Amino acid sequence: MSKPLKQIHLAAHFPGVNNTTVWSDPRAGSHIEFSSFAHFARTAERAKFDFLFLAEGLRLREQGGKIYDLDVVGRPDTFTVLAALAAVTEHLGLTGTINSTFNEPYEVARQFASLDHLSGGRSAWNVVTSWDAFTGENFRRGGFLPQTERYSRAKEFLATANELFDSWHGDEIVADQATGVFLRDAKAGSFVHTGQHFDIHGQFNVPRSPQGRPVIFQAGDSEEGREFAASSADAIFSRYATLTDGQAFYTDVKNRLAKYGRRHDQLLILPAASFALADTDAEAEELAREVRRQQVSGATAIKHLEFVWNRDLSSYDPEGPLPDIDPDVSDDHISKGRAQVRMYRDPLATAREWRELAAANNWSIRDLVINTGTRQTFVGSPATIARTINDYVQADASDGFILVPHITPGGLDDFADKVVPLLQEQGVFRTEYEGPTLRHHLGLAHPDAVDDRVAS
Amino acid sequence: MSATPASPLHLAVALDGTGWHPASWREQVARPRDLFTAGYWADLVAEAERGLLDFVTFEDGLGLQSSNYGEPDGRTDQVRGRLDAVLTASRIAPLTRHIGLVPTVIATHTEPFHISKAIATLDYVSTGRAGLRVQISARPHEADHFGRRTFPPISLEELRTPAGQERLTDLFDEAADHVEVVRRLWDSWEDDAEIRDVATGRFVDRDKLHYIDFEGRHFSVKGPSITPRPPQGQPLVTALAHQSVPYRLVARQADVGYVTPQDAGDARAIVAEIRAEQEAAGRAGELVHVFGDLVVFLDDEQAAAEDRRARLDALAGEPYTSDARVFAGTPAQLADLLEEFAAEGLTGFRLRPAVAGHDLPAVTRGLVPELQRRGLFRTAYEADTLRGLLGLARPANRYAAA
């Protein structure tokens, strides 16, 4: 009962503004200069990756009322970088994270449709939500959206954007110089949307783009997020990269597709994954440990403990024992602009568990943060990593991975040169791009424009 | 700063579709089917850069083009649809080296936070060649695309009434706030804020990151920006202005204002008004360029240019009119006109090619050599940034301790 080998999808996540990114390494370059993005994109394209992935920033993170200064801080604008990368790549998909809370559908749809035209059909949109008033302080409407409504707005935002993408069918521009007919239809781009969050009408002003619509990614992990993905997304950027967690998530989400009338292959599961790659497995293990020490300095360890304790712990020694005092469980959190702190739903229990772990292993604060934090997903020689990635994909832990290197911009170079050829030899990864658009790379159908025009 | 003096005259070209004449797309050279491809725009900007122009602007709008100011016209015989101008400029940036890239942004419905980081990023992508052209929209159908505000019906005639002027003033005040936020955000990181201090583990010196704490009638913005201070410090801010209300915006907030004089006397009066407003705004000592906007039909013979204009008017079914003076003639005649206007205080010109595929090359291959012969235009790019080309220093950061 052997099933056919699945083809692996690989993507490159530009290193982000968290402690995964090691900026203290002498090889670490700029996170802002375009040359870093161009280097990273060219490496991904040389390795025949499906796409490059960019996160977005809407407010600098704060902790204890001060701008968080231990990680990389700052990034360029997502759309603008992707448009420029379209000029230095030919095939690579260009995925941008764009928020559905502090934007309006008409403008975002214009930007994605434009990016799709300017890249010849390579755009993708990772739809994310925010709600907090902290981020809202940078925008016209402030913190206008209750947390409970963020997915309802996101869903309606995406549905509205799709109505705008579909408002042009692709055959309107005649541009017949002899007869003087430019547009076949004076009503091209007409739309009316009336809903809870958006009440808009008029004419969309970007003609239908090569992919029809950008590829849609979803990244949320809540029950609502999973339903949203199952109903509306082409791919999920997930955080379950281990074999068993990945399989559980994969099964859960793929099983939700049927009720929306969708097939298993219409939603790709692509977890974020980091790696420590060296010539031998032993060297890779050593490298992985070293990188974890770099990622969690003493100062970073204290700040990460504060995520759980929700208190100023700056007086504690990172090489010493965990605090005896309990976390502050009040609503106002010491850390602002960071989604990950919401993972600690029961800080008192987490603190208890961590104290026990530290006592049992004789761990300092820094040891604890290193060991309870996220280790590299893949550690090993090129052969080990290639085999593990393939095993996970064939075992339905995912359909591929979005790789997050820890060094900018060269952190993907060795993976491209040493791991990708092994995957290609095994016949599970492309050796050439087979089509011009990101939908081709991902094996997704190009959407048909819904032709709602009345025959006349 | 470059020691080489800036060019005596500055030249920009305004890119809009296949050109500014509504029938321009019907010319053989027009390539109307390529309008929504990157290659089309790359070719135009490469041509402008070949002519050593200071910068190109990209028109934009939050609705379909219309021959009526206040509503869609339902026409199918003219170019309709366009790509986002900021993204088009960014797509071209890696393909060019010297020319400035100045996309239009509409202040009325957009977030200043997003615009600020987008233009800062365009400045990074182009290594110091970015600007913006700020525009307002009073159009009710464009407000309906956003659904956050309702604008009453308006026409160009109504905009000239006192009630219309009041609406315009309001929208321009909002635009001035928008630009103020955009500019403060550009300064919200000091140039040396990123320290990468391995010893202390600090990536930035947070004392060099600044909240802008802007509070206005239409929005409040906290800051700092997510994007560090761009290479030029302050990318170029430009605006088109036809009357006193927008002249004030130019005088208060812009580095370059585009104006539309019909003759030399007109040019003199406009320049005087802007300079007075500039003084009132406390910017008397600052270099603010005032560029004349002209629509151009350029040919080697005046008759050819006039014939072309007539032919296009016939195709369009009506004579072409514009807010700007429409010129049809030879490069030498145009150079004479530019000299005459420059004598009244205009420091440069933004030429709107009637047919992009014809009149842009006519500017770069006809007008530019003519101006060079007269010693009025650069013969090589003399600076690496757009501000440098325009003789504008890289400004000090408003938040940096003196």
| Chain mean position to CA B101 | 9
Instruction: State what percent of residues in chain B have pLDDT above 70.
Output: 99
Q: Quick check: B198 and A24 CB within 8 A?
A: yes
**Interface-testing mutation among A205, A211, A336, with chain B (most B C-beta atoms within 10 A):** A205
Residue A318 DSSP one-character state: T
CA distance B255 to B258: 10
The pLDDT of residue B53: 98
Nearest to A83 among B61, B90, B209 (CB): B90
Best residue of B16, B33, B80 to probe chain A, by most A CBs closer than 10 Å: B80
Quickly tell me which residue has 């122009």 as its tokens: B53
Contacts A73 to B, Cβ<8 Å: 194, 203-204, 209
Residue B110 confidence (pLDDT): 98
Q: Which structure tokens are listed for A69?
A: 């200064």
For A369, the 3-state DSSP assignment is helix
Q: Does B252 touch chain A (CB under 8 A)?
A: no
pTM passes above 0.90: yes
What is d(CA B134, CA A55) in angstroms, rounded to the nearest whole number? 27
Give the residue from chain A lying closest to B126, CA to CA: A34
Over the stretch B56-114, which tens digit does the pLDDT of each residue have?
999 999 999 999 988 999 999 999 999 999 999 999 999 999 999 999 999 999 999 99
B220 in contact with A at a CB cutoff of 8 Å?
A: yes
Residue B95 placed within a domain: yes
Please name the member of A76, A182, A200 whose beta carbon is closest to the beta carbon of B80.
A182
- The CA distance from B153 to the nearest CA of chain A, in Å, is 14
DSSP-derived letter for residue A58 is: S
Nearest chain B Cα distance for residue A189, angstroms: 9
Task: Name the nearest CA neighbour of A118 among A164, A96, A87, A97.
Answer: A87
Q: Which residue of A has its CA nearest to B27?
A: A177
pLDDT tens, position by position, B176-187:
999 999 999 999
Residue B394 is assigned to a structural domain of this protein: no
8 Å CB contact of B87 and A83: yes
- B2 inside domain: no
Shortest CA gap A154–chain B (Å): 16
At residue A440, the pLDDT reads 97
Choose the mutation target among A20, A56, A138 for the interface with B, i.e. most B CBs under 10 Å. Answer: A138
pLDDT digits (tens, 9 = 90+) for A35-64: 999 999 999 999 999 999 999 999 999 999
Residues 143-202 of B with CB under 8 A from A: 144-148, 189, 194, 196, 198, 200-202
pLDDT for B1 equals: 40
B395 within a domain of the structure (yes/no): no
Question: Which positions in chain A touch B88 (Cβ < 8 Å)?
Answer: 83, 114, 118
Query: Cβ B219–A70 below 8 Å, yes or no?
Result: no
Domains of chain A: 9-280+376-442 (3.20.20.30), 297-372 (no CATH)
**Tens digits of per-residue pLDDT, B27-59?**
999 999 999 999 999 999 999 999 999 999 999
Residue B182 lies in a domain: yes
CATH number at residue B256: 3.20.20.30
Does the distance separating the beta carbons of A106 and B124 come in below 8 Å? Answer: no
Q: pLDDT under 50 in chain A at which residues?
A: 451-456
Is B397 part of a structural domain of the chain? no
* pLDDT value at B7 more than 60: yes
User: What is the DSSP track for A9-28?
Assistant: EEEEEPP-SSTTS--SSTT-
Report the domain count for chain B: 1
Q: Are B353 and B13 in contact, with CB atoms under 8 Å apart?
A: yes
Compare all CA atoms of chain B with the CA of A115 and give the residue at the minimum distance.
Answer: B87
A-B contacts (CB, under 8 Å): 225
Contact B95/A at CB under 8 A? yes
CA B86, CA A81: separation in Å to the nearest integer?
11
B26 close to B79: Cβ distance less than 8 angstroms: no
Say if B227 is an interface residue toward chain A (CB within 8 Å).
yes
Angle at B255 between CA B251 and CA B261, to 5 degrees: 65
B242 touches chain A (CB under 8 A): no
For residue B140, what pLDDT band results from cuts at 50, 70 and 90? very high
What are the Cα distances from residue B268, in Å, to B227, B231, B263?
Answer: 40, 35, 9
Task: Give A147: exposed, middle or buried? Use CB within 10 Å, 0-12, 13-18, 19+.
Answer: exposed
**Which residues from B are below 8 Å from A139, CB to CB?**
111, 113, 219, 221
Taking a C-beta distance cutoff of 8 angstroms, is the pair A79, A96 a contact?
Answer: yes
- According to DSSP H, which parts of B243-301 are helical? 244-253, 264-280
CA of A184: which chain B residue's CA is closest?
A: B76
**Residue B396: inside a domain:** no
Does the distance separating the beta carbons of B221 and A138 come in below 8 Å? yes
Q: How many helices (H) and strands (E) does chain A have?
A: 15, 17
B31 Cβ under 8 Å from any chain A Cβ: no
pLDDT of residue A453: 42
Task: Give the B window 122-151 contacts with A, CB below 8 Å.
Answer: 122, 124-125, 127, 141-142, 144-148
Distance from CA of B50 to the nearest CA of A (A): 19
Domain that holds residue B211: 10-389
Record the tokens describing residue A383, joined without a space: 């052969």
Long-range contacts (CB closer than 8 Å, 24 or more residues apart) made by B215-218:
B216/B174, B216/B177, B216/B180, B216/B181, B217/B173, B217/B174, B217/B177, B218/A140, B218/B174, B218/B177
Separation CA A209–CA B275 (nearest Å): 45
Of B26, B76, B125, the CB nearest to A84: B125
Nearest chain A residue to B106, by CA: A107
Judged against a pLDDT cut of 80, whether residue B174 lies above it is answered with yes
Do residue A182 and residue B32 have CB atoms under 8 angstroms apart? yes
pLDDT tens string B236-273: 999 999 988 889 999 999 999 999 999 999 999 999 99
pLDDT on residue B245? 87
Is this complex scored with an ipTM above 0.85?
A: yes
